[in-house]
Structure 1
Amino acid sequence: MTVLRKTADGLERWAPVMHQYYFTDWVFVFLLLGGFMVLTDMTPFQSMFTLDDPSLQHPYATTERVSSKDGVMLSTIIGIGIIVLFVPLLHRKRNWRHVMNVSLLSLALSLILTEFATELLKNFIGRPRPDFIARCLPAPGTPLHELVGIEVCTNPSAKVISDGFRSTPSGHTSNAFAGLGWLSAWIAGQLRVFRHGTELFRTMLALLPFLGALLIALSRIEDYRHHITDIIFGGLLGALIAWYSYRKFFPHLGNATCHIPFPPPDFKEKAVVESDDYESLDEMESGTQKAYSD
């Protein structure tokens, strides 16, 4: 009991600090990361296909214009670097550590929630990529006009064939807009581009990451890795999650203080509200029990 009591006292002492630094939100983000890693090892739904489908007859590019590693670096490292470098300068007269923590959390939420949603959709949709026939290497004599499955594929690499069913939505695109799209919103907020009289170059700076995300998306079409609908789907998915993740912690871009994140909720006030709620609930339950007894 003494050990449990000490543990409870320690948690009670640290609870306000954990609340201030959004500890539970960070835990949720890392849980999402674990879920994403599980989903990447799952075998996607393997839909049937026909060999005469022209949308699946594009060549298989062994060298991609933007590899998966490059995509992650561009979407993640650039945003982290800009936050770490510029937050202490832009917010040196206020609590810049809070701004940095919230900015990194918002970016992490955007990226990992998007990755989780993208992999989940890829596995359940199972749409073949435009280069699937080249991946499959169908056996001679396979009917051209009939629906067939992967049993006709002769490619010895099961990984290449399995990845061929991960076309929708585009992961490169959703990740690019989740990271670089979020960064555009963040820069627009920090530079207050919608403030009256703001210089045009600030707006152009804010648009640069968004343009980078668009170029990454277009490279996936040029490599024949995705259909155009996959790109649109992935772009919308990443952009919507990026906007949600940004607005969860920052005011809208038209606000005069859009460069300052919301302050952490007052832990003591929250505790009072919760205790009041519980007291009201107890009163309601006691009143209900009395009514039944009467």
Structure 2
Amino acid sequence: MYSLRTAHHHVAKAAPLLHKAYFMDWVFVFLLLGGFIILTNMNPFFNLFTLDDPSIQHPYATTERVPSIVGVIYTTVVSVGILVVFTPFLHRKNPAWAHVLNVSLLSLALSVILTEFITEMLKNMIGRLRPDFIARCMPAPGTPLHGLVGIEVCTNPNLQVLYDGFRSTPSGHSSNGWAGFGWLAAWVAGQLKVFHPGTELFRAFLALLPLFGAALIGISRIEDFRHHVTDIIFGAVIGALVAWFSYRKYFPHLGTANCNMPFPPPAFNDSGIETVVETDYYDSLDEMEAAKRGYSD
């Protein structure tokens, strides 16, 4: 008899993204994406400023070292490409590699999109001026050099450029870089088991490489006068924290025996009720070794 369990098995095998255990997680991620899009179309808080503030008198760079779309490609597309290419290879002897890929993509998506949502919300609420704000503003002649003034003294007809001048804190490039590459560093460390005894040093170096990329993206924003140093640090902290949260939501900590495998999904019986999946999963290397000794006895 073709039961609901059999049907679910075939659906999950053919399309891991539709796995019942993660469907609502994907829905939540896409809702966050929708919220992020809404936030990007909202006006930020228009802070007051003074024309003689040297921290906002830097020139406006028409050519950026890492444009926004390039930053997304670096942090997101590259990370996804690495997952798609290397997951089947690293788990070539594991029939459940599609499950590993699905959970990895979900965890990465949560890291990047949740970070973008938080970053954009804070940008709009804080309204800090970018280092190149005066060049964006184009103050009207006769505007007093001393004393606080508002956006009404600006004459730049390009409102998109002008309003974006109030979105300095935190740095989106920095937070996105650490959300994508920070998460990727944790994933590589887990897949290569870099914290297991006897692991070669070059594996740890491979896990650190994404972090250098994230740092360089943040530094480029200072060189382009798009952000203050504190914006970069704030963004990096947000991205790194969300990346670690998103990784640990689906993967065990890096010292576990099976750190290269995500937490096992719940199974569903014919009534659609979640049940615990029986699996040889150990919280530590010592626990795994103890289990092996128990089996040998």
Q: What range is the shorter-chain TM-score in?
A: 0.7 to 0.9
> What's the C-alpha RMSD, in Å, of the aligned pairs?
2.3
Alignment of 1:97-246 (within 5 A): 97-246=98-247
Q: Gaps (5+ residues) in structure 1?
A: 1-8, 274-294
Aligned-pair CA distance for 1:266:
2.7
Partners of 1:56 and 1:131 within 8 A in 2: yes
Tell me what 2:66 maps to.
66
In the alignment, structure 1 residue 91 sits paired with structure 2 residue 130:
no
Give the letter for the 1:271 counterpart. Answer: I
Give the letter for the 1:42 counterpart. Answer: M
Equivalent-residue separation in structure 2 for 1:106 and 1:272 (angstroms): 21
Per the normalisation by structure 2, the TM-score is 0.85
Rg larger in 1 or in 2? 1
CA displacement 1:89-121 (0-9 Å, x = unmatched) = 111222000000000000000000001111111
Equivalent-residue separation in structure 2 for 1:272 and 1:247 (angstroms): 22
Identity of aligned residues (%): 68
Equivalent-residue separation in structure 1 for 2:139 and 2:68 (angstroms): 27
Tell me what 2:273 maps to.
271
CA displacement 1:184-228 (0-9 Å, x = unmatched) = 010010001111111111111111111000000000001010111
Partners of 2:266 and 2:274 within 8 A in 1: no
Aligned-pair CA distance for 1:239:
0.4
Q: Gaps (5+ residues) in structure 2?
A: 13-17, 276-297
CA displacement 1:39-90 (0-9 Å, x = unmatched) = 1111111100000111111111000000001000001111111111111111
Equivalent-residue separation in structure 1 for 2:154 and 2:99 (angstroms): 54
Tell me what 1:55 maps to.
55
Partners of 1:21 and 1:101 within 8 A in 2: no
Report the number of matched residues: 266
Give the letter for the 1:120 counterpart. Answer: M
Give the letter for the 2:90 counterpart. Answer: L
Per the normalisation by structure 1, the TM-score is 0.86
Runs of 4+ in 1 over 2 A off after TM superposition: 13-21, 266-273
When residues 46 and 272 of structure 1 are mapped into structure 2, their CA distance, relative to the original with a 3 A threshold, is closer
CA displacement 1:219-261 (0-9 Å, x = unmatched) = 0001010111111110000000000000001110111211111
